[in-house]
Amino acid sequence: MSERLRVNPIKCTAHGMCAELLPEFITLDPWGYPIVPGEPVPDDLIGLARKAAAACPTLALLVDKGRRR
C-alpha cells in the first residue's frame, strides 16, 4: 500500500510546518507554500509524513492511501 501526500491548496495558508517536519520530501516555493512530489512517500518517511499531516494548522496536508489521484 503506497501512500501519497496531497495539499488542499484552498486550505493551505503557508504555515510551512510540513516542510519543517519533512524536509526530505517537502520543499517550499518562493511564497512559502509546500511543493509536494506526486510520487509515493518512501517507506522510511511514512511515519513523519503522517505526523506532518496531523501537525498542519489548517489540516491542508492529506495522506492518500493506495489510491491514484
Partner 1 sequence: MTVVATTRRQAYPARPAARLPRLLAGLVGGRPAGLNQHESSFGPLPLPEAAWSGNEAAGRRAATRLIDVVERSGLTGRGGAGFPTGRKLRSVAAGPGPAVVVANGSEGEPASRKDRLLLSRTPHLVLDGISLAAFAIGATEAYLVVHDDDARLVAGLEAAVQAREVAGIDQVPIQVVGIEGRYVASEQTAIVQHLNGGPGLPTFAPPRTHERGVAGRPTAVNNVETLAHLAMIARYGHTWFREAGTPSAPGTTLVTVSGAIARPGVSEIELGAPIGEVLMQAGGPAERPQAVLVGGYFGTWLPAEEAWRVSMSHPGLRSVGGAMGAGILVVLPESSCGLAETARVVRYLADEGAGQCGPCIFGLPALADALADLAYHGGRGDAVDRIAGLIPLIEGRGACRHPDGATQLAASALAAFSHDARWHDVEGPCYGVRRAPLLPVPGDLESW
Residue ranges that bind partner 1, judged by CB under 8 A: 7-14, 29-33, 35
C-alpha cell at 56: 498542519
Q: Which is nearer to partner 1, 7 or 46 (CB)?
A: 7
Helix (H, G, I), strand (E, B) or coil at 7: strand
| CA torsion angle 59 57 10 35 (round to 10) | -90
> Which of 1, 69 has the CB closer to partner 1?
69
The minimum distance between CB 12 and partner 1, in angstroms, equals 6
Q: What is the smallest separation between the CB atom of 56 and partner 1, expressed in angstroms?
A: 14
Structure letter (DSSP) for residue 65: E
Phi–psi pair at 49, nearest 5 degrees: -65, -45
Nearest distance from C-beta of residue 19 to partner 1, angstroms = 13
